Amino acid sequence: MKRLEEYVRSIPDFPEPGVIFRDVTSILQDADGLRLAIDSLQDLVKDLDFDVIAGTESRGFMFGVPLAYNLHKAFVPVRKPGKLPCETISQSYDLEYGTSTVEIHKDAIKPGQKVVIVDDLIATGGTAAAAVKLVETLGGKVIKCVFLMELAGLEGRKALAGHDVESVICYEGK
């Protein structure tokens, strides 16, 4: 059986020279790769006591929903502004060149609920840190943040200091 890293397509010089883009779609396009990805993420949380998986738009949905289904947990989407139909709270965060914002339904997390944040990639950690703030604002407790891939050179774990962070694949560079 192949290792998960073998399913990741690496594209040099995208989106700019010197960057190696790690393409998760090549995992999604292969049934064995997708199963291995979900199983690997599930191994990171299988022994935890938690109530909810929160996935960030959009690839966090792709990996978070199957985990929630397999583990019989609720799933909460963390979305871009204007995509959720009910009352929301929002959190802005810094990007390399600008800012972005994510939202969550105001009633999505109940006080005291234990939450796992899921996404495909941790780079600078801004999106995940914003998701953590949203969950905590609603009274939830983030017990772990899990990612399929990590670009360690961008030091995203610093944005999640004080939280349990784990990734399936860790690339040392950017």
At 102 the pLDDT is: 98
Alpha-carbon distance of 136 to 48, in angstroms, equals 18
**Dihedral-angle region of residue 164 (phi above 0 means left; psi in -120 to 50 means alpha; beta otherwise):** beta
- Cβ burial, residue 133 (10 Å; 0-12/13-18/19+): middle
- Cβ burial, residue 104 (10 Å; 0-12/13-18/19+): buried
The answer to whether 157 is a known catalytic residue is: no
- Say if CB 24 and CB 6 are below 8 A apart: no
The answer to whether 96 is a known catalytic residue is: yes
Q: Which residues of 44-71 are buried (b: 16+ CB within 10 A; e: fewer)?
A: bbeeeebbbbbbbbebbbbbbbbbbeee
Alpha-carbon distance of 156 to 150, in angstroms, equals 8
∠ at Cα 26 (11, 13), nearest 5°? Answer: 10
At 118 the pLDDT is: 98
Find the length of the chain: 174
Q: Which residues of the chain have pLDDT under 70?
A: none
Alpha-carbon distance of 27 to 116, in angstroms, equals 22
At 19 the pLDDT is: 84
Alpha-carbon distance of 43 to 94, in angstroms, equals 31
Catalytic residue (one of 16, 87, 96, 172): 96
Virtual CA dihedral for 125, 131, 133, 137, nearest 10 degrees? Answer: 180
Catalytic residue (one of 9, 35, 57, 59): 59
